[in-house]
Chain A
Amino acid sequence: MNWFLQVFSIILFNLRSLPERKGSALSAAVGIAGVVAVLVGVLSIAEGFRKVMSSAGEPDAAIVLRAGADNEMNSGLTREDLRIVRDAPGVARAPHGETALASGELLVIVDRPKRTTGTDANVPLRGVEPAAFDVRRNLKIVEGRRLEPGRNEVIVGSGATTAFAGLDVGQSFKVGQNTWEIVGIFTADGGVAESEIWGDAAVIQAAYKRENNFQSVHVRLNSSESFQEFKDALTSNPQLKVKVSRLSDFYAEQSEMLSSFITGMGVFIAGLMALGALFGALNTMYGSISARTREIATLRALGFGASPVIFSVLGESLVLALVGGAIGAAIAYFAFNGMQTSTMNWQTFSQVTFAFAVTPALLLQAIIWASIIGLLGGIFPAIRAARLPIASALRET
């Protein structure tokens, strides 16, 4: 009890004298705040990208591509393939009638200017069949209406409409010989579809001279458990050469390269910065010890033990680090969270729009980093303080 009391009273004593050293204390805290803000900021890019890609698929959704294709861009399926997929076991049916919930789709890319820079970007234009709206339950029209099959009408994802110019309801745009009229805006629970423009598959096939040509089939299954049955039926069918994936796995794979690159870069930059901040913190703590050499010696002479001195210095450094970390995390949250941006998905060379996501897990990570810097920055000065020879320290000026 006595020991705790000693630690506690010295920490209080230290903290109360902080205002006298506000310059150096502030610089340590700001240093750590900088590290934390940069770390959280960079990682929130990767987090946002991953979030968009992973919220794209529900467990009972599957995608069928040509065998060997690793994305929709380089896949190809015929109308005959599509028919076989529709009839496969495990495919859900519409409540009334026999329509299979499977949509044959094709993906082309159109140039649209980015709102921020005015430069052209590759925006994916997806041709879908009417069943697409039942296959993706999370799709909601938030403005305008759905597209009608057979007409040159498109609907635009909410991400695409904010990122690219001229994609509002009522506007139209020309690509090649075709003019597309925008009749609606949709959301898809933040998924990657929000980066896309959707039109009728048959119309897009005609416009791009790809009659009877699809790139993927998006399928809703009876249940999440039907996947294996569905997959086995298709991959063992000698008439087909296809690859069947759960939609969630498919997108997770697509996002892996970019998000691990950003994460790696973020941790590396923040790691170096943390090293810089650590030196700053060490400097501050050594400075604060040497300024109080006599105080500490006096305490020791009064009978305070060595370990309470160590813990008190550590405590002070930890408090500074946590304050800095909290400030940095707050800056990152207010500056970055929800910021809209778009980047290229290297797998398909097309744009994905997403928002920076500062998640609670990231904030926790930030606090952990700050604490580590604080503890490391305090430990050596603390040991030094405890080791000061009392007699000579008392004599110091």
Chain B
Amino acid sequence: MKFLPLIWRNLMRKKLRTILTLLSVFVAFLLFGILCIIKEAFTAGVSMAGANRLMVRHKVSLIQLLPYSYVDRIRNVPGVSAVTHATWFGGVYKDPKNMVGTFPVDPDSYFDMFPELVISPEVMTAWKEKRNGAVVGKATMDRFAASDGWKVGSVIPFTTPIWGSPKGANQWEFEIVGTYDLKEKKGDNTGFFFRYDYFDEGREQLKGQVGWLSVRVQNPDDAPAIAAKIDEEFANSATETKAETEAAAMQGFVAQIGDIGAILTGVLSAVFFTILLVTGNTMSLAVRERTQEIGTLKALGFTHMKVLFMVLAESCFIAMLGGLLGLGTAWLITQGGSPVPQMLPIFILPDRDIIIGVCAILVLGVVAGAFPAIQAMRLRISDALRREG
């Protein structure tokens, strides 16, 4: 630790260079953080999936609907403890750009099925009393409270390209009865839920049909067997089903969007390689310039190891400072909420990625400093002192 002032002086001798290097490391890790956020946004459904939940949908595709009667039939399958359903409503608020995740659901059973969504008993009571009531995710509520003055009691008009307008009206109208939030910060709180009975009464087509079912099983280990049993139950009927664990269903959905993971990994590698080179190069420049000084230090009795350590410490210091600032900034960005909630409702920097980031910072510091440090260590005193800079 007593060499700290020496390391500090070395960093300060070319302030501009230190700052520039710092900034490029900063940018690299800011980018790393942002890419992790985007990747998480696309794949978060998978990590959120409940191990004891199945998703059941029409076998041909998610777009086709299931008869409502399946709710009861599946509830009777041994090993199933709860069933609920949801339907894609495709609600548009004012402008097609404001596509909101709107779903008609059964209030009690839906929020029981997803304990990660928190709703207060008062809101639930109010919802059950109000036929056209709706519960709004906190993020969506905040978003439109700021721009359009949404509050509890507001009546929100929606149009939907899928369901047309309800009988005798030009648009669907729901009255906000309250909000729901997430138990942990992880998850999607941009939804807009309203009552299925109100929806079923209003729609003019496909009455009595729902989008998909969520099924809770008593024992997660039995999930695959129960999924198979559900599919068997409806095999050879007019509406065959496909039941799978929630994780598998999400995975399938992510795979449909494309190979986001591979593309992001590619981008990250390119970024890293670039930054490594830049930082490494700056470090070796700094050492080369100081050849004479290092010679002097050695002549004064500094060991090879001490010189090696000092150069490494210098590069690790720059990497740490720049990298942590970059990661920190990325984290700060997530605190402000998603800038594009309709594309990326989930907007967090997962702890796992922060840990990976910190490890990467250390690796960057050591690798970038290694070459010049070894160069400095091997330097012979006589050569160094004779050289001119």
Known A-B contacts A31-B278, A42-B267, A176-B240; A120 and B63 likewise in contact (beta carbons under 8 Å): no
Known A-B contacts A69-B161, A70-B161; A37 and B270 likewise in contact (beta carbons under 8 Å): yes
Do A109 and B61 have beta carbons less than 8 Å apart?
yes
Query: Which residues of the partner chain A approach B267 to less than 8 Å between Cβ atoms?
Result: 38, 41-42, 269
A376 touches B (CB below 8 Å): no
Do B60 and A111 have beta carbons less than 8 Å apart?
yes
Query: Which residues of the partner chain A approach B388 to less than 8 Å between Cβ atoms?
Result: 397
Do B278 and A117 have beta carbons less than 8 Å apart?
no
Interface string of B22-44 (1 = CB under 8 A from A): 01100110110011001000000
Do B28 and A283 have beta carbons less than 8 Å apart?
no
Interface residue from A68, A265, A269, A276 paired with B274 (Cβ < 8 Å): A276
* A343 nearest CB neighbor, chain B only: B258
CA distance A265 to B273 in the complex (A): 21
Selecting from A22-30, A126-134, A189-197, A297-305, the interface stretch reads: A22-30
Interface residue from B162, B259, B343 paired with A341 (Cβ < 8 Å): B259
* B282 nearest CB neighbor, chain A only: A283
Interface string of A362-393 (1 = CB under 8 A from B): 00000000000000000000000000000000
Do B161 and A74 have beta carbons less than 8 Å apart?
yes
Query: Which residues of the partner chain A approach B271 to less than 8 Å between Cβ atoms?
Result: 34, 38, 273, 276
B149 touches A (CB below 8 Å): no
Tell me which of B14, B278, B280, B340 has the highest count of chain A C-beta atoms within 10 A of its own C-beta.
Answer: B278
Query: Which residues of the partner chain B approach A341 to less than 8 Å between Cβ atoms?
Result: 258-259
Interface size on B, as a range, is 35 or more
Do B38 and A68 have beta carbons less than 8 Å apart?
no
Do B61 and A111 have beta carbons less than 8 Å apart?
yes
* A279 nearest CB neighbor, chain B only: B24
Known A-B contacts A280-B24, A341-B258; A73 and B31 likewise in contact (beta carbons under 8 Å): no
A282 touches B (CB below 8 Å): yes
CA distance A25 to B323 in the complex (A): 24
B255 touches A (CB below 8 Å): yes
Interface residue from A27, A71, A116, A286 paired with B277 (Cβ < 8 Å): A27
Do A276 and B27 have beta carbons less than 8 Å apart?
yes
Do B21 and A283 have beta carbons less than 8 Å apart?
yes
B275 touches A (CB below 8 Å): yes
Do B278 and A27 have beta carbons less than 8 Å apart?
yes
Interface string of B270-306 (1 = CB under 8 A from A): 1101110110111011000000000000000000000
A284 touches B (CB below 8 Å): yes
Known A-B contacts A276-B275, A286-B16; A73 and B259 likewise in contact (beta carbons under 8 Å): no
* B240 nearest CB neighbor, chain A only: A176
Q: Which 4 A-B pairs have the closest CB atoms?
A: A34-B274, A276-B27, A280-B278, A279-B24
| Besides the known contacts A27-B278, A31-B274, A273-B31, 13 further A-B residue pairs in the complex with CB atoms under 8 A apart | A23-B281, A34-B271, A38-B270, A38-B271, A109-B64, A176-B59, A209-B238, A269-B34, A273-B27, A276-B27, A277-B274, A283-B24, A290-B14
- Return 14 A-B CB contacts under 8 Å, by A number: A31-B277, A68-B161, A109-B63, A111-B59, A117-B255, A121-B255, A122-B62, A261-B340, A273-B274, A277-B274, A279-B21, A280-B24, A343-B257, A343-B258
